[in-house]
A and B are shown apart, each in its own frame.
Chain A
């Protein structure tokens, strides 16, 4: 089973600042990584798929990079609505797994 380790667990930033979130895989997963945003009481929302492709209607301030075992989600300038929990997920093989999440807080 591929383990995804997200860091940091919590990121304390202010609106307008840049956020850099990390996801590390226990073995190579190519580019088969997705990023999700989840707000309290809501279902997750797909932000990035296949490491660097923005999903439909996702603002350009969200970008993804990486391949192999190290991946990064960058939010270039935080908007108030971006404060949430972010998860990574791989689809390289079975079983699929999610990372433990990074909370971006004000």
Chain B
């Protein structure tokens, strides 16, 4: 059974940093592209970032490029998202998601970790 478990969310001040983690199990982690998708309170879904299975290529939404960094540790079956220079508009529930292999339709989702940016 595929499981994705996010952690690391919390309250942070504007300009601060957080590191989110997503622990994966039940599939061949290094063969799957991984993704972060966020949802602001009461709003729709927003794709944030993706990383290929090898970790060799990363992709970002324009709203986070230069501030967020996606990475992975295939030896630990864990995906990360480093959030720097946080803004109030980054407040959201952050989901870890994956599809089958290197596809980018999201079949499997975690339950999300909440990031709140406020002074």
Contact = CB atoms under 8 A, between A and B. Distances in A.
Please indicate whether A and B come from the same complex rather than being unrelated chains: yes
Interface of A: 1, 34, 36, 38, 43-46, 49-50, 55-56, 87, 89, 91, 94-101
A87 B61 CA distance: 18
Given A89-B105, A95-B60, A96-B50, 11 more contacts: A34-B105, A34-B106, A36-B106, A43-B110, A43-B111, A43-B112, A44-B95, A46-B107, A50-B105, A55-B107, A95-B62
A95 B107 contact: no
Nearest to B47: A96
Given A1-B62, A91-B104, A98 B110 contact: no
Contacts of B45: 36, 38, 44, 87, 89, 98, 101
Closest 8 interchain pairs by CB?
Answer: A43-B109, A91-B104, A49-B105, A34-B105, A96-B47, A98-B45, A101-B44, A94-B59
A36 B50 CA distance: 18
Contacts of A99: 44
Interface residues of B, number: 22
B12 interface: no
Interface string B84-119: 000000000001010100011111011110000000
A34 B105 CA distance: 6
Contacts of B99: 46, 49
Interface string B50-71: 1000000001111000000000
A100 B44 contact: yes
Contacts of A49: 99, 103, 105, 107
A49 B107 CA distance: 9
Contacts of A101: 44-45
Contacts of A38: 45
A43 B60 contact: no
B103 to A, nearest CB: 7
Nearest to A97: B47
Contacts of B111: 43
Given A44-B106, A46-B105, A89 B47 contact: yes
B62 A91 contact: no
